């Protein structure tokens, strides 16, 4: 593989690894918000914002952690024939499915960008009683999808290199 591809893979993997490790901490923030919500409902006035804010944190956790999950290989894989194949054959199929995933993520990104543009342009708000602006979570959605696209391309290069017998370390 050319050095530029190896550099791309190293940079994207390192960046997504760090983002994924930091994103893991959002679960503690979400638990804190839900704990505050339960205390407030029990002893004080219930807050209007806590449950929806916890949902937004969960969306950020899910979207920003997607690239890390792909990098770590912790996504779900359906194994009917795959486990019986030799490693080079598996990697060829992985490269093909990576291309399909890249095409899908590009379409997702197109929809996410148009949705984010709409939310910013028209000041879109949630339909809840709290009525927060939607653009912050939609910007996070675009960032998460972009990170997933970069990681899918990195994964494609790694699978292609392994199928050719020249793994990128």
- Give the tens place of pLDDT for each residue, 131-148: 899 999 999 999 999 999
Mean pLDDT of 60-64: 93
Q: Please, what's the largest Cα pairwise distance for the chain?
A: 64
pLDDT of residue 169: 67
pLDDT confidence tier of residue 8, bands split at 50, 70 and 90: very high
Structural domain including 37 reads 3-163
- Judge whether 54 lies within some domain: yes
- Judge whether 118 lies within some domain: yes
The total number of structural domains in the chain stands at: 1
Structure tokens at 119: 């939310």
72-113 confidence digits (pLDDT tens): 988 777 778 878 888 888 888 889 999 999 999 999 999 999
Contacts of 61 (CB under 8 A, 6+ apart): 23, 26, 27, 30
- Judge whether 119 lies within some domain: yes
pLDDT of residue 168: 79
pLDDT of residue 12: 96
Nearest residue to 16 via CA among 142, 109, 150, 106: 150
Whether residue 105 contacts residue 152, with contact meaning beta carbons closer than 8 Å, is answered with yes
**What torsion, rounded to 10 degrees, do the Cα atoms 15, 17, 18, 22 define?**
140
- Judge whether 109 lies within some domain: yes
- Judge whether 84 lies within some domain: yes
Q: What is the DSSP letter of 125?
A: B
Mean pLDDT of 117-130: 92
- Judge whether 168 lies within some domain: no
- Judge whether 81 lies within some domain: yes
pLDDT at 1 over 80: no
- Judge whether 44 lies within some domain: yes
């Amino acid at each position: 593989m050319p050095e530029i591809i190896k550099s791309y893979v190293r940079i994207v993997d390192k960046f997504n690894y760090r983002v994924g490790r930091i994103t893991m901490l959002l679960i503690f923030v979400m638990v804190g918000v839900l704990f505050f919500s339960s205390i407030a409902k029990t002893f004080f006035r219930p807050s209007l914002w806590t449950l929806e804010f916890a949902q937004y944190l969960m969306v950020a956790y899910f979207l920003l952690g997607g690239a890390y999950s792909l990098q770590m290989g912790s996504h779900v894989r359906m194994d009917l024939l795959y486990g019986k194949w030799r490693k080079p054959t598996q990697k060829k199929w992985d490269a093909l499915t990576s291309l399909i995933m890249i095409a899908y993520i590009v379409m997702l990104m197109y929809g996410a960008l148009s949705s984010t543009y709409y939310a910013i342009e028209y000041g879109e708000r949630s339909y809840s009683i709290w009525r927060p602006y939607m653009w912050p979570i939609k910007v996070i959605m675009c960032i998460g999808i972009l990170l997933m696209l970069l990681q899918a391309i990195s994964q494609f290069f790694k699978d292609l290199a392994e199928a050719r017998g020249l793994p990128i370390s």
